[in-house]
Amino acid sequence: MMRGLNGAAAGMIAQQRRQEMLTDNLNNMNTPGHKADQASLRAFPNMLIQAAGQGVRGGHIGELATGVYMQERIPHFAQGDLMETGNAADLALLQSSVPEGAMLFFAVEGDDGTGRLTRNGSFTVDGEGFLTTAGGRYILDTEGERIQTGSEQFRINEEGSVFVEGAEGEEEIARLGVILAEDPAQLVHEEEGLLRYEGDEADLLPAAGNDEVTYRIEQGFLERSNVDASRTMTEMMAALRSFEANQKILQSYDRSLERTVNDVGRIG
């Protein structure tokens, strides 16, 4: 009976965490470039039940499942739809071809000086003329340097080259840093649409000059979140029903235990 209690409790915890993940997805439905998380549920190792004597063949009765848990949250890196904004600082990154399983990202400077990645191209120009995220993180070029456009009067072509008006006309000042992450499953969501890579940094490669990679930058556009609202709501209802089912099982075991204890007490 205690195994049943543990299994039902584990199921409730797993569905609660899944519900929290789905809620987070729904909350970020309007965040540009946001990638929805998916849950990976796994069962605890099964227990082999053995007979005390040898009346059962080989002493084995069989296996018993001991519950389920949510092992990890895995971002779903499908390309989102484009939305036109007309804002020069809004950029959408469209990948035409990349190695299987890989994904392209804008390079961003993190608060701690280490690199961050993002698909959220809702950028702005700060008071010093640097291209930044909405949260003030600097956008980096192919050399890992900050990009200073001076104002929002700049142009970016499909290859990511940044042009501003100079004394002798339009001149190129930088090229957007676009990074190829070969194993995006190692990326962890942070605030403001930033992603931190927890794998080997050698797996993060410059996209520029890579023969296996083709992409284009669309200025004045944003990539929408790839969260499917209707599917997410359906999954939330399914998670809730599963939680409630495990809750009823837990309550049933609790009543059985209470009755057993009380009956045994009266017999004694």
pLDDT values of the chain reduced to their tens digit, one per residue, 268 residues: 566 677 788 888 888 888 999 999 898 888 888 888 888 777 766 555 555 555 555 555 556 566 777 777 777 888 889 999 999 999 999 988 888 888 999 999 988 777 899 999 999 999 999 999 988 999 999 999 999 999 989 999 999 999 998 878 889 999 999 999 988 888 888 888 889 888 888 789 999 888 899 999 999 999 998 898 889 999 899 989 988 888 888 888 777 777 776 766 565 5
Is residue 104 within 8 Å of 75, Cβ to Cβ? no
Q: Which residue in this structure is represented by tokens 């899944």?
A: 18
Sign for the pseudo-dihedral over CA of 22, 28, 29, 34: negative
The Cα 154–Cα 139 span in angstroms is: 15
- Report helix angle 2-27 to 229-267, nearest 10: 160
Copy the structure tokens of residue 10: 């584990």
Is residue 10 within 8 Å of 210, Cβ to Cβ? no
The Cα 102–Cα 132 span in angstroms is: 25
Domain residue ranges in the chain = 2-40+69-74+227-267, 82-223
Is residue 123 within 8 Å of 133, Cβ to Cβ? yes
